Amino acid sequence: MNPKITPASIRAMKGRGEKIAALTAYDFPMARLLDQVGVPFILVGDSLGMVVLGFPDTTHVTMADMEHHVRAVARAKPHSLVVADMPFRSYETVPTAVENAKRLITAGAEAVKAEGGREIIEQVRAITAAGIPFCGHLGMLPQHVIEEGGYHVKGKKGTEHQSLLADADALVAAGAFAIVLELVTPPVAKEISKRIPIPTIGIGAGPDCDGQILVTPDLLGMLPWFSLKHVKPKLNAAEQMRAVIQEWKKSV
């Protein structure tokens, strides 16, 4: 039987040079499938706002939404590590960050993830001091999409490059066990991955991160109305489902 994956196991994978495959799940059946395949890191991402709830971006997702979906994923009792996103505005202050991280753990998450570096470092320190494993998220921060006016690649400018290095160092010092790098230029993602002792998990950040993460419905082609540069669907699930439903409808 597969052993239970912990934040320490994820860190140890970097030590062994073993790549970390991470995917999102928002419900029981997907969590069960990912577990059966042996995906070590399941993220209950706030991407659920777009891919499950139909919002235009992740800023509409609430703590109640996250708790609901974390509970569904946790019911699959996966061997995989279950990491939950802290939604927009749920970690603005140190006390709210700790309280909301505890709520996600109570719902069944085994670690939490939040977006940002030095600007949230007091919150990260308080979360790890409370004994809650923390995964960082640097680069393009989807919860800032409105103020940034879109999803832009980070690390092209010298100032962004230096800032990403400083943020990664700060997250390591604050006790993070891994860092997601989203839309970071591949050379900068490679530099960060070499520089820090904890795993980097890339999305649209090139091949040299310690692991890769995708939004599962993007991988499976379930959302043909979104087209993304960093992922080519490996299945056309939406088309296949439409065809089966059409055939069944005709048979009625």
User: Which residues are catalytically annotated?
Assistant: 182
Q: At what angle do helices 63-74 and 94-107 cross, to 10 degrees?
A: 30
CB 45 to ligand KIV: min, Å: 2
Nearer Cβ to ligand KIV, position 147 or 247? 147
Closer residue to ligand KIV in complex, CB, 35/182: 182
Q: What is the dihedral of CA 9, 18, 185, 60, to 10 degrees?
A: -40
Q: Is the Cβ of residue 49 or residue 108 nearer to ligand KIV in the bound state?
A: 49
Binding-site ranges for ligand KIV (CB under 6 A): 24, 43, 45-47, 85, 180, 182, 203, 213, 215
Q: Smallest Cα–Cα separation from 107: which of 62, 51, 57?
A: 62
Q: How far is CA 211 from the centre of its chain?
A: 12
Taking the complex as a whole, the smallest distance from the CB of residue 183 to ligand KIV amounts, in Å, to: 9
Q: Quick one: 227 or 246, whose CB is closer to ligand KIV?
A: 227
Q: How far is residue 245's CA from residue 95's CA, in Å, rounded to a whole number?
A: 48
- Taking the C-alpha atoms of 218, 13, 210 and 108 in order, what is their torsion angle to the nearest 10 degrees? 40
Tokens 């489902």 correspond to what residue?
Answer: 241
Minimal distance in Å, beta carbon 59 to ligand KIV? Answer: 12
Q: How far is the CB of 131 from ligand KIV (least distance, A)?
A: 23
Q: Give which of 210, 181, 212, 227 is closest to 14, Cα–Cα.
A: 210
